[in-house]
């Protein structure tokens, strides 16, 4: 099966379009709700003597590390001590990462948070200003429009860049490193080659905010929400039928178990489900996922030959 276009000989019956639309709209609504709530309590900041550029570099690094500490590390603690195991997707012993791979992950995450992120943010800041980022002391405007646009750009950018990474050449020399974690853990979202980090992680995440000149607080809020999403989908914890994820809209969509199942299938089977559900549906790259039972089975499905 071709990884870039992983279609089966006989296409399985995809879920109804209505369900795809509803599932695809939920993360947009979720991000808008949380962004509005966060920005309602966060006030414009005065960078003072630091200046906006240095403030942006420090603030971006803090957002990145805060997301790691609040979201990824607690899930890693659960992995270590077997907590919440009833929500963990099953892993075969052969899929578990060896200690040497975990040590490499810890080292790369440390470098990313302490060096790469603040340096990249400092160098990148003039581009943001050139595209119209307002002064830090201004009040953010058009928050929902900016979040929706950032999310849309990320969906498109990540899907196509990620799918390109599954071409034979790029997979072998670039993306295979990320797939060293067959059974992913939350921090493994950041385990990738520098080319992949820039091409498939950073650019899709920031391009929307750049193009519309988002306020720095909108940029940081979106970055936090994007990090939360990627840490969760790599964690292997599908919090289905719990108080944080029920059919009721009153839960505020606190968890994303279906996205976890989709991406876990991608890592364990490595056949399709490249990104946003609506793009996998439109582009026909969820054959193996549907054939394996999709959301009917919470465990990693068997590989489709």
Q: Are the CB atoms for 278 and 155 separated by under 8 Å?
A: yes
pLDDT tens digits in sequence order for the chain, 305 residues long? 467 888 888 889 999 999 999 999 999 999 999 999 999 999 999 999 999 999 999 999 999 999 999 999 999 999 999 998 988 998 888 888 999 999 999 999 999 999 999 999 999 999 999 999 999 999 999 999 999 999 999 999 999 999 999 999 999 999 999 999 998 999 999 999 999 999 999 999 999 999 999 999 999 999 999 999 999 999 999 887 654 444 443 344 568 888 999 999 999 889 999 999 999 999 999 999 999 888 764 443 333 32
Write the CB contacts of 282 (distance below 8 Å, at least 6 apart in sequence).
none
State how far the Cα of 76 lies from the Cα of 102, in Å rounded to an integer. 11
Which run of H or of E encompasses 210? helix 203-211
The candidate with the shortest Cα–Cα distance to 109, out of 146, 77, 157, 73, is 73
Residue 3 lies in a domain: no
Please state the pTM of the whole predicted model: 0.92
User: Domain containing 167: what range?
Assistant: 17-296
The candidate with the shortest Cα–Cα distance to 189, out of 48, 76, 285, is 76
Give the model's pLDDT for residue 253.
56
Residue 149 lies in a domain: yes
Tokens representing 119?
A: 């340096």
Residue 111 lies in a domain: yes
Residue 84 lies in a domain: yes
Number of independent structural domains in the chain: 1
Residue 301 lies in a domain: no
Tokens representing 78?
A: 């659960």
CB-CB neighbours of 172 under 10 Å:
9
Give the model's pLDDT for residue 300.
39
Residue 130 lies in a domain: yes
Give the model's pLDDT for residue 5.
82
Residue 1 lies in a domain: no
Residue 5 lies in a domain: no
Tokens representing 227?
A: 């990090």
CB-CB neighbours of 274 under 10 Å:
24
Find how far residue 167's CA is from the centre of its chain: 21
Q: What angle do CA 225, 229, 234 make, to 5 degrees?
A: 150
DSSP classification of residue 179? G
State how far the Cα of 204 lies from the Cα of 81, in Å rounded to an integer. 34
Angle formed by the axes of helices 203-211 and 143-164, to 10°?
150
């Amino acid at each position: 099966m071709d990884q870039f276009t992983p279609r089966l000989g006989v296409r399985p019956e995809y879920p109804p379009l209505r369900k795809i639309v509803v599932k695809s709209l939920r993360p947009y609504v979720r991000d808008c709700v949380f962004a509005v709530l966060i920005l309602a309590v966060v006030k414009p900041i005065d960078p003072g003597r630091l200046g906006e550029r240095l403030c942006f570099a420090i603030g971006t690094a803090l957002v990145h590390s805060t997301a790691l500490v609040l979201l990824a590390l607690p899930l890693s603690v659960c992995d270590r001590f077997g907590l919440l195991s009833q929500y963990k997707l099953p892993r075969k012993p052969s899929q578990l990462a060896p200690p040497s791979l975990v040590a490499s992950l810890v080292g790369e995450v440390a470098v990313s948070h302490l060096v790469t992120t603040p340096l990249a943010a400092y160098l990148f800041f003039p581009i943001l200003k050139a595209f119209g980022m307002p002064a830090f002391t201004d009040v953010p405007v058009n928050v929902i429009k900016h979040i929706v646009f950032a999310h849309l750009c990320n969906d498109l950018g990540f899907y196509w860049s990620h799918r390109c990474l599954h071409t034979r050449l790029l997979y072998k020399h670039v993306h295979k490193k990320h797939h060293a974690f067959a059974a992913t853990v939350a921090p493994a979202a950041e385990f990738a080659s520098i080319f992949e980090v820039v091409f498939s992680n950073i650019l899709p995440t920031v391009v929307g905010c750049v193009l519309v000149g988002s306020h720095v607080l909108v940029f940081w809020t979106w970055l936090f929400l994007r990090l939360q999403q990627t840490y969760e989908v790599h964690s292997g914890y599908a919090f289905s039928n719990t108080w944080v994820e029920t059919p009721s809209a009153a839960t505020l969509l606190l968890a994303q178990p279906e996205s976890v199942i989709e991406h876990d299938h991608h890592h364990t089977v490595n056949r399709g489900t490249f990104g946003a559900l609506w793009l996998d549906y439109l582009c026909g790259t969820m054959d193996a996922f549907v054939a394996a039972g999709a959301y009917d089975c919470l465990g990693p499905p068997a590989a489709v030959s």
